[in-house]
């Protein structure tokens, strides 16, 4: 088996992984990034809309500052976020954007003079200041008080990731792509690296590193319908959970995006609504103002998704062979706007739906989109439970998003967290030595080797991997969607436990040689089911509604009992995760209060004291 030694091992070469890698490489450390796909195909490249930073350059962002951004973020999170982290984030975000500008991101810039914009289907006028000419401009996004989302057309993730990877190439960061990590190597105290499978040859490899970062992005692919890339199956979370030591935070907090297209579930950006697009029902009636007079389409995602689902349940959805949907209308924005600011959207509509968004509205419905939960870390990005293990990006629960992340805040998080966590990892590397006991490494590798052999030999059974996966999809749809309730969740949990059993009895139907895709799926599926169990179990236990976690049987936000973060660990050989809880935040710059949208009752934290 091939073994690689390095100072820093980044599992994941998306924005978060590469940003950390760059920090370490700039400090002179050896870095290897691992990725399922070439770095630039990481899912960060799919982000269209933009990233939030309180630069306050554009007219509609005037007066913006980190404080306002902080307030939006905390409200957006429904007070589930770690406020210390959110603070750190909003303060550093502007620097991160400027640094990206220096590294080559072609941000859209302020063009002085009068121009028009749409809000809620109506035309308004604004005037950009002359003295801001050429500075980074911003657009509106949901749940924000100011226009704060920096963008490059609707290819923001793409340009930022390409710039990041350029920088990584410049600094000599090694990326081993088409490599899938199967497990962490650890001695119970220190993380020592990872065992990986080469997706070109199928060979196993060991990577030994003084520090390891998990930056594997979201795990949306445990759901059947997700806007995520097909590679977003939570590999990083699985390896953390499988240590039995590292907890995952808030796994029940799963975000559904209002505008996934029907039928292919491809996302059209929130920028559509930010730029003035509206949501219509089957009568072509704009319904959001009925529910949210103030913010309308631009309330936070959890709120809009819920109202959409609610509205469809009222029979206002447009029927289609793929289930009900609603319309997203951007016809009024005009050809010029679509051609410059919403190009990808334009292409997606034409290529995948065969419609012209100038002429017909776009069929959309809420679709799984983002995982607030992830590897729980402290504010330095260090994972709980193992020394030398860090996490950043969507894979992490650094926790600035709480129970709902704002559009534009996660792409920004990857870069800002990458910067901050990267610096902390450099500090760590400067003072940290480990030894790699050969038996620990050999055992970890042997474990995976045996799994592979058993799958090929069908030693454990002959369950069909795709059928088992479909069973997992069905179970989650049943109970862990947008609206949740106790009995559905219980059913979902029971089914998932059965599915988990079956997932341990998978046998391959193909020969498993080389970069065999069936083997890859078989290796990761049991872990995916465990993640699904963490989601369902956490959701069942959390008897309140907060952000994206909406319990029909517990509709109020319960600050008295649930101002906490769920921590899920998986003890070896157990059937369910072990759940623990910690306070949502150590500091309260903004005490829990009203979000200003979404409605809903709150059980106040003060009631506990009485």
Ligand X SMILES: Cc1cc2nc3c(=O)[nH]c(=O)nc-3n(C[C@H](O)[C@H](O)[C@H](O)COP(=O)(O)OP(=O)(O)OC[C@H]3O[C@@H](n4cnc5c(N)ncnc54)[C@H](O)[C@@H]3O)c2cc1C
What residue ranges bind ligand X (CB under 6 A)?
A: 11-17, 34-37, 42-44, 46-51, 156-157, 179-181, 215-218, 227-228, 231, 235-236, 267, 269, 369-370, 393-395, 407-412, 414
Considering only residues 285 to 324 of the shown chain, the ones binding other proteins according to CB under 8 A are 321
Residue 17 or 317 with smaller CB distance to ligand X:
17
The partner in contact with residue 414, picked from other proteins, ligand X, none with C-beta cut-offs of 5 to 8 angstroms by kind, is: ligand X
- Are the CB atoms for 150 and 137 separated by under 8 Å? yes
Dihedral over Cα of 223, 247, 584, 392: its sign? negative
Q: Using the rule CB under 8 A, is 175 a contact of other proteins? A: yes
- Are the CB atoms for 187 and 440 separated by under 8 Å? yes
11 closest CA partner among 248, 241, 219, 207: 207
Q: How many residues bind other proteins (CB under 8 A)?
A: 76
User: Shortest gap between Cβ of 204 and ligand X (angstroms)?
Assistant: 13
The partner in contact with residue 12, picked from other proteins, ligand X, none with C-beta cut-offs of 5 to 8 angstroms by kind, is: ligand X
The Cβ of residue 564 has, within 10 Å, a number of other Cβ atoms equal to 16
E strand map for 92-178: 113-119, 122-128, 149-150, 174-176
Q: Which two tokens stand for residue 128?
A: 């950009």
Q: Using the rule CB under 8 A, is 20 a contact of other proteins? A: no
Residues 6+ apart with CB under 8 A from 599: none
Q: Using the rule CB under 8 A, is 43 a contact of other proteins? A: yes
Q: Using the rule CB under 8 A, is 463 a contact of other proteins? A: no
User: Shortest gap between Cβ of 513 and other proteins (angstroms)?
Assistant: 4
Q: Using the rule CB under 8 A, is 417 a contact of other proteins? A: no
Say whether 209 sits in a helix, a strand or coil.
strand
The partner in contact with residue 101, picked from other proteins, ligand X, none with C-beta cut-offs of 5 to 8 angstroms by kind, is: other proteins
Q: Which of 87, 139, 186, 273 is catalytic?
A: 273
* Largest Cα span, the chain: 72
Burial of 129 (0-12, 13-18, 19+ CB in 10 A): middle
The Cβ of residue 134 has, within 10 Å, a number of other Cβ atoms equal to 10
Q: Using the rule CB under 8 A, is 221 a contact of other proteins? A: no
Q: Using the rule CB under 8 A, is 188 a contact of other proteins? A: no
Query: Rounded to the nearest 10 degrees, how much is the dihedral formed by the CA atoms of 479, 480, 481, 486?
Result: 60
Query: Rounded to the nearest 10 degrees, how much is the dihedral formed by the CA atoms of 263, 269, 275, 278?
Result: 30
**Can you tell me the distance from the alpha carbon of 562 to that of 545, in angstroms, rounded to the nearest whole number?**
9
Residue 414 or 545 with smaller CB distance to ligand X:
414
By CB under 8 A, name the one of 165, 297, 324, 559 that touches other proteins. Answer: 165
Residue 78 or 518 with smaller CB distance to other proteins:
518
Considering only residues 504 to 523 of the shown chain, the ones binding other proteins according to CB under 8 A are 508-511, 513-518
Part of the chain binding other proteins (CB under 8 A), chosen from 79-87, 94-102, 498-506, 584-592? 94-102
Q: Is 257 a catalytic residue?
A: yes
Residue 509 or 601 with smaller CB distance to other proteins:
509
CA 244 to chain centre: 23
User: Shortest gap between Cβ of 243 and ligand X (angstroms)?
Assistant: 14
Q: Using the rule CB under 8 A, is 457 a contact of other proteins? A: no
Residue 165: enclosing H or E segment and its boundaries? helix 156-170
By CB under 8 A, name the one of 86, 254, 348, 392 that touches other proteins. Answer: 348
Entry field: residues in the chain: 610
Q: Which of 257, 376, 484, 557 is catalytic?
A: 257
Q: Using the rule CB under 8 A, is 352 a contact of other proteins? A: yes
Catalytic residue numbers? 257, 273
């Amino acid at each position: 088996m091939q073994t690689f030694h390095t100072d820093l091992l980044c599992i994941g070469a998306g924005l978060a992984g590469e940003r950390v890698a760059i920090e370490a490489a700039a400090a002179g450390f050896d870095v290897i990034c691992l990725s399922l796909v070439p770095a630039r195909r990481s899912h960060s490249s799919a982000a269209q809309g933009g990233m939030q930073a309180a630069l306050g350059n554009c007219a509609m962002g005037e007066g913006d500052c980190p404080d306002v951004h902080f307030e939006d973020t905390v409200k957006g999170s429904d007070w589930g976020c770690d406020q210390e982290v959110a603070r750190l984030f909003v303060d550093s975000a502007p620097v991160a954007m400027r640094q990206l500008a220096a590294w080559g991101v072609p941000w859209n810039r302020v063009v002085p003079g009068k121009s028009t914009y749409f809000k809620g289907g109506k035309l308004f006028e604004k005037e950009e200041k002359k003295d801001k000419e050429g500075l980074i401009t911003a657009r509106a996004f949901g749940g924000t008080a100011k226009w704060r989302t920096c963008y490059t057309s609707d290819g923001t993730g793409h340009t930022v990731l390409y710039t990041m990877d350029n920088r990584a190439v410049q600094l000599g960061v090694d990326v081993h792509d088409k490599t899938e990590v199967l497990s962490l190597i650890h001695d119970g105290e220190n993380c020592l690296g990872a065992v990986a499978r080469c997706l070109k040859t199928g060979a196993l490899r060991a990577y030994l590193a003084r520090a390891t970062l998990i930056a594997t992005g979201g795990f949306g692919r445990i759901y059947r319908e997700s806007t995520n890339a097909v590679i977003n199956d939570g590999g990083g979370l699985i390896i953390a959970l499988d240590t039995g030591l590292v907890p995952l935070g808030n796994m029940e907090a799963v975000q559904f995006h209002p505008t996934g297209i029907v039928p292919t579930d491809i996302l059209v950006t929130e920028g559509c609504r930010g730029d003035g697009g509206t949501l219509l029902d089957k009568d072509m009636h704009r319904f959001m103002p009925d529910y949210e007079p103030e913010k309308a389409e631009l309330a936070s995602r959890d709120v809009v998704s819920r109202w959409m689902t609610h509205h469809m349940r009222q029979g206002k959805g447009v029927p289609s062979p793929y289930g009900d949907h609603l319309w997203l209308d951007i016809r009024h924005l005009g050809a010029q706007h679509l051609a410059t600011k919403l190009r990808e959207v334009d292409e997606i509509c034409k290529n995948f739906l065969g419609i012209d968004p100038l002429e017909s509205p776009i069929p959309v419905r809420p679709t799984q989109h983002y995982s607030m939960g992830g590897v729980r870390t402290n504010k330095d990005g260090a994972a709980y439970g193992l020394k030398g293990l860090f996490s950043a990006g969507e894979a992490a629960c650094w926790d600035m998003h709480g129970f709902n992340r704002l559009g534009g805040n996660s792409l920004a998080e990857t870069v800002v967290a990458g910067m901050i966590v990267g610096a902390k990892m450099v500090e760590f590397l400067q003072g940290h030595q480990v030894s790699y006991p050969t038996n620990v490494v050999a055992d970890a590798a042997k474990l995976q080797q045996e799994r592979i052999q058993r799958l090929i030999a069908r030693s454990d059974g002959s369950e069909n991997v795709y059928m088992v996966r479909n069973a997992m999809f069905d179970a989650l749809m049943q109970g862990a969607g947008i609206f949740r309730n106790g009995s559905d969740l219980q059913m979902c949990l029971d089914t998932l436990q059965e599915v988990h059993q079956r997932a341990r009895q998978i046998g391959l139907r193909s020969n498993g040689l080389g970069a065999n895709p069936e083997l890859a799926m078989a290796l990761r599926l049991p872990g995916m089911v465990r993640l699904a169990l963490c989601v369902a179990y956490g959701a069942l236990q959390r008897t309140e509604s907060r952000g994206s976690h909406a319990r029909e049987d517990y509709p109020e936000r319960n600050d008295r009992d649930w101002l906490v973060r769920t921590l899920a660990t998986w003890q070896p050989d157990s059937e369910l995760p072990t759940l623990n809880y910690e306070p949502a935040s150590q500091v309260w710059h903004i005490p829990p209060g009203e979000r200003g949208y979404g409605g809903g009752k709150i059980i106040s934290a003060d009631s506990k004291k009485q």
